Amino acid sequence: MAVERSAQDSMKELLEGFYPRLWRYCLALTRDLPAAEDLCQAACLKALESAHQFQAGTHADRWVFSIAKNLWYNTLRAENVRRGGGLVPSDELALPAPGTDAETNFFHAEVLKAVMDLPEAQRVTVFLVYVEGFSYKEAAEHLHIPIGTVMSRLAAARSKLAALKATSGAAKQRTL
| Residues 119-167: tens digit of each pLDDT | 878 887 887 788 777 789 988 987 789 999 999 999 999 998 888 777 7
What whole-number percentage of the chain has pLDDT above 70?
A: 77
Residue 88 lies in a domain: no
What pTM was computed for the model?
0.47
**One-letter amino acid identity for 58?**
T
How many domains, in total, are found in the chain?
Answer: 2
Residue 156 lies in a domain: yes
Please check whether residue 146 is in contact with residue 161, taking contact to mean a CB–CB distance below 8 angstroms.
no
Which pLDDT band holds residue 168 (cuts at 50, 70, 90)? low
Average pLDDT over residues 28-44: 89
Q: What pLDDT score was predicted for residue 5?
A: 55
What is the three-state SS of 64-131?
HHHHHHHHHHHHHHHHHHHCCCCCCCHHHCCCCCCCCCHHHHHHHHHHHHHHHCCCHHHHHHHHHHHH
Domain with 120 in it: 96-175
Residue 153 lies in a domain: yes
Please tell me whether residues 12 and 78 are part of one structural domain: yes
Please tell me whether residues 110 and 146 are part of one structural domain: yes
Higher pLDDT, residue 29 or 35: 35
Helix (H, G, I), strand (E, B) or coil at 134: coil
pLDDT tens string 102-118: 666 666 677 777 887 88
Please tell me whether residues 73 and 112 are part of one structural domain: no
Please tell me whether residues 39 and 73 are part of one structural domain: yes
Residue 115 lies in a domain: yes
- The last residue of one of the domains, among 56, 82, 108, is 82
Residue 112 lies in a domain: yes
